[in-house]
Amino acid sequence: MENHYDVIIIGGGAAGMSAGIYLSRAKVKTLIINEGTIGGQMVLTHEIANYPGVETISGYELARIMKSQALKFGCTVKSNVRITELNITGSVKSVTINNKETFTSDGIIIATGGRPRSLGVKGEDDFKGRGISYCATCDGDFFQDKEIIVVGGGNSALEEAVSLTKYASKVTIVHQFDHFQAFEQYIEDAKNNPRVEMIMESRIIEFAGNEKLEKVKIENISTGAVSEKEIDGVFIFIGYEPNTGKLKGVLNLTPGGEIIVDAAMHTGVKGVWAAGDSIAKRFRQVTTAVADGTIAALSAAEYINSLKKELSLAANN
């Protein structure tokens, strides 16, 4: 029974780590399995300034603290592994990593998060990592004193555009609508930054260059006019796609692939909960992911304790 846990959490971002903290502190034997680096989307954020009780902190540091807390309470964490088999519909759930080690549990929490959405236009795949990035924290310092474009009009796009002015000499925001879908503070910060310019009602339709990205073609959506712009780099922040490919046909998903859950974060499959950016919801912030993970953990702990009571009663009878 060494590889059997009360609950296995798939995903080590804000939701998964929060669930791990709550479960392990409640003395529920818990394993977190994460295919990448612990922290998920948090580690891509240069600065988190709206986390209650913390004036400012990097996403990497917040993830490190969360992991430390989970480990302190007794949670087991396995990261940078590959999930090669996942069975969650039976009374006993199982997860196999790297085609060789299998773990089982009575409950499971899916907190697989999401991945950056791409534009899907000509040349994008050719210049990923060679001028096109989806992570300001990872790649911002490569564009010191250079001109870059940020694509998007939501909170992440505007926040990261301002953040990137610490490196770039000029940041041009390209957005398809005539207005932004961001909090007013982020909009004002971008508009008031002298290094930020904006091209509205426009979209990039092609990336071009030789060894690295050198220019883009931009189409004005209203007029159809196409112009070329020489550029050193492009950062794309147009949302995320849920990492739920392994769950199609297993859990109820929205047409966009998000997991449908109830108020207790239950998926409808006995012993299976979901939390964070992988579920269907309106707002996606670190704080909402933490809340989702907390609710899922409390629900799972209640379920596990109920199972243990049933087994104890059966054994005594």
- Residue 27 belongs to domain spanning: 4-115+240-316
Do 123 and 90 share a domain, yes or no?
no
Q: Which phi-psi region, left, alpha or beta, contains residue 200 (left: φ > 0; alpha: ψ -120 to 50)?
A: beta
How does pLDDT run across 129-167, given as a tens digit for each residue?
899 998 887 788 899 999 999 999 999 899 999 999 999
Note the pLDDT of residue 306: 94
Do 105 and 156 share a domain, yes or no?
no
Mean pLDDT of 72-99: 96
Do 190 and 292 share a domain, yes or no?
no
Mean pLDDT of 246-252: 93
Do 32 and 66 share a domain, yes or no?
yes
Do 128 and 226 share a domain, yes or no?
yes
Do 75 and 155 share a domain, yes or no?
no
CATH number reported for the structural domain that contains residue 299 in this entry: 3.50.50.60
Do 263 and 287 share a domain, yes or no?
yes
Mean pLDDT of 207-215: 95
Do 38 and 181 share a domain, yes or no?
no
How does pLDDT run across 250-298, given as a tens digit for each residue?
999 999 999 999 999 999 999 999 999 999 998 888 999 999 999 999 9
Cβ–Cβ < 8 Å for 48, 57: yes
Number of domains within the chain = 2
Do 172 and 110 share a domain, yes or no?
no
The pTM of this model reads: 0.80
Do 150 and 176 share a domain, yes or no?
yes
pLDDT above 90 coverage of the chain, percent: 82
Q: Residue 1 above 70 pLDDT?
A: no
Q: Which of 175, 209, 236 is the last residue of a domain?
A: 236
Q: Which of 217, 236, 255 is the last residue of a domain?
A: 236
Q: Which of 236, 271, 294 is the last residue of a domain?
A: 236
Note the pLDDT of residue 67: 97
Do 126 and 275 share a domain, yes or no?
no
Mean pLDDT of 103-125: 94
Do 14 and 38 share a domain, yes or no?
yes
Binned at pLDDT 50, 70 and 90, residue 316 comes out as confident
